[in-house]
């Protein structure tokens, strides 16, 4: 890290289309090779600041005041062409959702090369050579073959690394890393974190690292800025902020992160058998992704399914919901056999099983308002209309902690956490018996995530709704799940009461998962890498 400032932001003010202030007078300085962590709850302004660093306001948001200088280029004084010339070439963005960021119709290698070709930084041969070098540096398998694949043909962890390669393609001075590991399982998260840190050090790249996970930012950030309601709450070195926070809000964030890894599910009485899956087998093409998977879920019970990327967790969820891939095995809902294809299920059967997806950016229609999105299940399943529907939408918004005026907002005007809460409200609108939750808290900061977990527990106690909870956050599992099923390579490794699964001795693979949960100390990643025989920073 040098003393040369390559990003300077002064008095930044960003407003939403409604006129609400999203960022209020924030200053940011970033030196060459430095990593500044931006943390805070959902809606604190983290991603808005990251995008504003590129002179960009998403969803109709406007930068109404302030000065933004990248290198020697003033983005606010320049033309649109000036800003577009800086984006990608001097400062690049890595989004939380790689699946939503890649063009599904183009090969991965082609998309990585687009940046340097567009900016005229390399000819095609040079761009291809550099693209393959990046894929190799990011430890992606057989780079030449990988580059020819389409986004849907690789795992989530591989696609996230490919997105980092796309951001690095122009050799930018600054990376804006917006929750780059949030959607990854704990073992893949370690790999991507280590690779990001290595790339930043190797190429002396500066970075704004946006996250809600204090334990993650502790492994990579030199300094940390704490944000709340669009304002800076605290700024200091990573050690100062994490080990001796000065402000009450920061202390609450630290305390919640520490509590999240030790909490346990309180005693809970489940009801009669609701869902039973027997010997589920599924294929993607010729590749078998589920092998004789069986599980049971009782009314009012939570079954957590954990495992690394590619273990079959989400495939099992899709099979239960009647989505492709269709395979063999049986699914019974309160003793009634369900068709493996959702199109052959009755409307009542469809209503009783609802999904909340991992990636709200993909799950929400960007052209529909929040009210239309939540109201759709009400009209489809219950024929609810007009005033009655508006009242129910407002009730659900209040239930998930969003104000009634969000009814008229589009998804693009919401933060990641707010979008996920809308997804939860949409599922609740169908009044289901079983909600399949696919990483529903992964996009949320610790305080908001805890609110959502409390909400899910409250709903379960009141409505006896059941959850199939897919997650890589083992702290969430310990606090929410009655039983836990561990999967690897499409098979069940072990299953039982959550308290038993987390009590030593563990199965070797379960032990690996537990050891991969980030801890709130600066040297945790180095210790993990050393234990695996990998070089630490």
Q: Does pLDDT of 261 surpass 90? A: no
Give start-end residues of each CATH 3.40.50.300 domain in the chain.
5-100+172-261, 272-369+431-503
The pLDDT of 501-505, averaged and rounded, is 85
The pLDDT of 41-51, averaged and rounded, is 89
Q: Does pLDDT of 431 surpass 90? A: yes
Fold classification of 5-100+172-261 is Rossmann fold (3.40.50)
Q: What is the dihedral of CA 170, 176, 178, 181, to 10 degrees?
A: 60
pLDDT per residue as tens digits for the range 133-156: 999 988 888 999 999 999 988 877
8-state DSSP, 87: B
**Spatial CA neighbour of 96 closest among 184, 171, 225:** 184
Q: Does pLDDT of 265 surpass 70? A: no
Q: What residue has token string 């070797």? A: 508
5: burial class by Cβ within 10 Å (0-12, 13-18, 19+)? middle
Distance CA 417, CA 444 (A): 5
What pLDDT is attached to residue 382?
95
- CA triplet 356, 357, 362: central angle to 5 degrees? 130
CB 233 within 8 A of CB 226: yes
Q: Does pLDDT of 257 surpass 70? A: yes
What is the CA 233 to chain-centroid distance, rounded?
24
For the four alpha carbons of 101, 202, 472 and 480, in that order, the dihedral sign comes to: negative
Q: What is the mean pLDDT of the chain?
A: 89
Q: Does pLDDT of 444 surpass 60? A: yes
| % residues pLDDT > 90 (the chain) | 58
For the four alpha carbons of 185, 191, 193 and 196, in that order, the dihedral sign comes to: negative
Which superfamily does 272-369+431-503 belong to? P-loop containing nucleotide triphosphate hydrolases (3.40.50.300)
Task: For the chain, report the end-to-end CA distance as a whole number of angstroms.
Answer: 14
Q: Does pLDDT of 86 surpass 60? A: yes
336: burial class by Cβ within 10 Å (0-12, 13-18, 19+)? exposed
Helix (H) or strand (E) holding 530: helix 524-531
Distance CA 314, CA 292 (A): 15
What pLDDT is attached to residue 284?
85
What pLDDT is attached to residue 264?
60
CB 370 within 8 A of CB 407: yes
- Give the count of beta carbons closer than 10 Å to the beta carbon of residue 535: 9
What pLDDT is attached to residue 234?
96
What is the CA 308 to chain-centroid distance, rounded?
15
CB 501 within 8 A of CB 324: no
Query: pLDDT confidence of 2, banded at 50, 70, 90?
Result: low
CB 461 within 8 A of CB 248: no
Q: Does pLDDT of 63 surpass 70? A: yes
The pLDDT of 472-479, averaged and rounded, is 83
By DSSP bridging, strand 466-470 and strand 302-306 are: parallel
The pLDDT of 511-534, averaged and rounded, is 82
What tokens were used for 43? 């809606």
What values do phi and psi take at 427, rounded to 5? -65, -45
| % residues pLDDT > 70 (the chain) | 96
8-state DSSP, 374: H
Distance CA 155, CA 399 (A): 34
8-state DSSP, 407: G
What's the longest Cα–Cα distance across the chain?
68
């Amino acid at each position: 890290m040098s003393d040369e400032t390559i990003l300077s932001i002064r008095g930044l003010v960003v407003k939403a289309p409604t006129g609400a202030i999203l960022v209020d007078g924030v200053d940011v300085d970033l030196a060459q090779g430095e990593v500044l962590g931006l943390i805070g709850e959902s809606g604190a302004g983290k991603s808005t600041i990251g995008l504003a660093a590129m002179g960009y306001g998403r969803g109709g948001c406007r930068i109404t005041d302030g000065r933004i200088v990248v290198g020697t280029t003033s983005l606010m004084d320049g033309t649109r062409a000036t800003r577009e010339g800086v984006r990608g070439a001097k400062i690049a963005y890595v989004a939380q959702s790689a699946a939503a960021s890649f063009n599904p119709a183009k090969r991965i290698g082609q998309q990585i090369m687009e940046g340097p070709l567009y900016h005229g930084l390399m000819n095609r041969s040079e761009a291809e050579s550099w693209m393959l070098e990046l894929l190799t540096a990011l430890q992606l398998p057989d780079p030449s073959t990988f580059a020819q694949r389409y986004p849907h043909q690789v795992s989530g962890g591989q696609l996230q690394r490919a997105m980092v390669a796309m951001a690095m393609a122009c050799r930018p001075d600054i990376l804006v890393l917006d929750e780059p590991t949030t959607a990854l399982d704990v073992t893949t998260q370690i790999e991507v974190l280590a690779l990001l840190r290595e790339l930043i050090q190797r190429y002396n790249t500066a970075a704004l690292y946006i996250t809600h996970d204090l334990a993650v930012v502790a492994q990579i950030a030199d300094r940390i800025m704490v944000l709340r309601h669009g304002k800076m709450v605290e700024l200091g070195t990573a050690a100062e902020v994490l080990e001796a926070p000065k402000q009450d809000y920061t202390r609450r964030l630290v305390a919640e992160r520490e509590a999240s890894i030790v909490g346990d599910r309180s005693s809970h009485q489940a009801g009669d058998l609701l869902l039973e899956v027997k010997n589920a087998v599924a294929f993607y093409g010729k590749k078998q992704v589920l092998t004789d998977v069986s599980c049971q879920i009782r009314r009012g019970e939570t079954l957590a399914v954990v495992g690394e990327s590619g273990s079959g967790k989400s495939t099992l969820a899709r099979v239960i919901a009647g989505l492709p891939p269709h395979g063999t095995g049986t699914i019974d809902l309160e003793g009634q056999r369900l068709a493996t294809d959702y199109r052959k299920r009755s409307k009542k059967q469809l209503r009783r099983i609802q999904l909340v997806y991992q990636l709200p950016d993909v799950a929400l229609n960007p052209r529909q308002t929040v009210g239309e999105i939540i109201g759709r299940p009400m009209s489809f399943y219950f024929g609810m209309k007009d005033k009655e529907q508006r009242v129910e939408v407002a009730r659900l918004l209040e239930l998930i902690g969003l104000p009634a005026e969000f009814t008229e907002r589009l998804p693009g005007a919401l933060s990641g956490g707010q979008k996920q809460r809308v997804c939860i409200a949409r599922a609740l609108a169908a009044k289901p018996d079983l909600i399949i939750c696919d990483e529903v808290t992964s996009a949320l900061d610790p305080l908001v995530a805890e609110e959502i977990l409390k909400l899910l527990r409250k709903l379960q106690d009141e409505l006896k709704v059941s959850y199939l909870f897919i997650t890589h956050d083992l702290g969430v599992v310990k606090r929410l799940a009655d039983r836990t099923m561990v999967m690897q390579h499409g098979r069940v490794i072990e299953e039982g009461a959550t308290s038993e699964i987390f009590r030593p001795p563990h199965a070797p693979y379960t032990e690996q998962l537990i050891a991969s949960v980030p801890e709130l100390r600066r040297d945790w990643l180095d210790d993990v890498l050393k234990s695996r025989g990998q070089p630490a920073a």
